[in-house]
Amino acid sequence: MQSETPSAFTQEKAPVNWPAALIFAGTFAVTVSLVPLYGYYFGYDAVEWFAFIVMLALCGFSITAGYHRLWSHKTYEAHIAVRYFWAFWGACSLQNTILAWSSGHRRHHRHVDSEEKDPYSIRRGFWFAHMGWMLRNYKSGEVDLSNVADLQRDPVVMWQQRHYAKLVLISNVGVPVALGLLNGDVLGMFLLAGFLRLVISHHVTFFINSLCHMWGRQPYTDTNTARDNPLLALVTYGEGYHNFHHFFQTDYRNGVRWWQFDPTKWIIFGMSWVGLTTNLKRVPDFKIQEAVVNMQFKCANDRLKRAPFPNMEGVHELLEKEYQQFMDTLAEWKRLRIEWYEDKRKVLVDTKEAWQGRFQQAAVKYRIKEVEYMLKMQQKRLNVLLSGFGQAQPA
């Protein structure tokens, strides 16, 4: 767990952000009082629970697939209809505009863990990272749109920016009231699909800023506090694989393994089948494996420093041999990639040498696969070694 050591920044007393404080306090008060009371005395029907689940999911995916992976990191491109859809339900989530949200998130990635520059740094404690950063007008949380000039050229983003207040009212009040009128119970629908949905949607997102920087593993990097936590992924639409995301933020996936729970990834990929999403960006598997093996070496060296083992000299010798092989593998992979691109250039620009380029491309591609397999085997050998230390690090 992340320590909460006091600092000048944790003691900072900034002016209260009254609009945010009143919204959070008011919605929470209604949710913990009127929602259960109404349920006890009058009950909620299946239609109201269904509307609550659907609106909760729409808000959640609009943040993860829209605000986060589409606009903040540009990990894929989306049809204009999808972008308008994410923009509308993103407003319903009541987490500020695309511009403000993306600007703060980009600063978070650039200055992660900096108490001075990270808007929701976990170094300032759980409460601050979870929601305290929004309850006061801290200097670190000031809106600065200089890092979202690209988004200001997006007509959908600017449409939401201009009409944000209307969209918030239509989605948070108009939609639940309309559904309630159709179902014959406006208050019940408003309490579930309005208040309960909004509070849960808020805190699910806030968990990514707080708990995902406190609990879990760091299989890809320990240069920041972000963690991979499969349990948190279950309630954050796949965002719980946060260690991977902070190291490979341009990848449209957070749960990079096929078996990791990342419904946001599946929705983005699924929409690509019908042309609604394109240019899905993926980090090469080799680069991911390289990060894993790097962390394995670090874990092994740290373990050896903490406590002696029998035949320490032999263990050190083995690690040095493995590390040299690791460096040789990386060098070979980079050389082959350069060669592959050179052969591809020949195919594209030199018709005389096109046949030769295609032949060489195929040979180089086969060799690249061999090198990637070598790295995977080394990762497995290191995992066995770490298991002997009592700290296996499976990818």
Q: In the chain, what's the furthest Cα-to-Cα distance?
A: 82
Question: Residue written as tokens 């019940």?
Answer: 188
11 found inside a domain? no
54-81 in b/e form (b: 16+ CB < 10 A) is: ebbbbbbbbbbbbbbbbbbbbbbebeee
Which residues constitute the domain of residue 37? 18-278
Confidence band for 183, pLDDT divided at 50, 70 and 90 = very high
Q: Please tell me which residue, 360 or 92, carries the higher pLDDT value.
A: 92
Average pLDDT for the chain: 87
Rounded distance, CA 316 to CA 322, Å?
10
Instruction: Inform me whether the pLDDT recorded for 394 exceeds 50.
Output: no
Q: Which pLDDT band holds residue 322 (cuts at 50, 70, 90)?
A: low
Output the pLDDT for position 285.
85
Q: Are residues 239 and 308 in the same domain?
A: no
CA nearest to 225, candidates 204, 202, 208: 208
Select the more confidently predicted residue: 44 or 373. 44
Specify the range with the lowest mean pLDDT, choosing from 46-55, 216-225, 311-320: 311-320
Shared domain for 169 and 314, answered yes or no, is no
- Fill in the DSSP letter of residue 26: H
Residue at 226 is within a domain: yes
Backbone angles phi, psi at 241, to 5 degrees: -85, 70
pTM, rounded to two decimals: 0.85
Does residue 236 fall inside a structural domain? yes
pLDDT at 75 over 60: yes
User: Domain containing 366 — which CATH number?
Assistant: 1.20.81
In degrees rounded to 5, what are phi and psi of residue 224?
Answer: -145, 180
Mean pLDDT value of segment 14-27: 94
pLDDT value of position 65: 98
Q: Are residues 88 and 166 in the same domain?
A: yes
Of the pLDDT bands very low, low, confident and very high (cuts 50, 70, 90), residue 358 is low
Got the DSSP string for 59-113? HHHIIIIIIIIIIIS--SEE-HHHHHHHHHHHHHTTS--HHHHHHHHHHHHHTTT
Tens digit of pLDDT for each residue in 278-319? 999 999 888 888 888 788 777 777 776 666 655 566 666 666
CA–centroid distance for 187 within its chain: 35
Tell me: do 121 and 88 sit in the same domain: yes
183 and 311, same domain (yes or no): no
From 278, 313, 339, the end of a domain falls on 278
The pLDDT-based confidence of 335 (bands split at 50, 70, 90) is confident
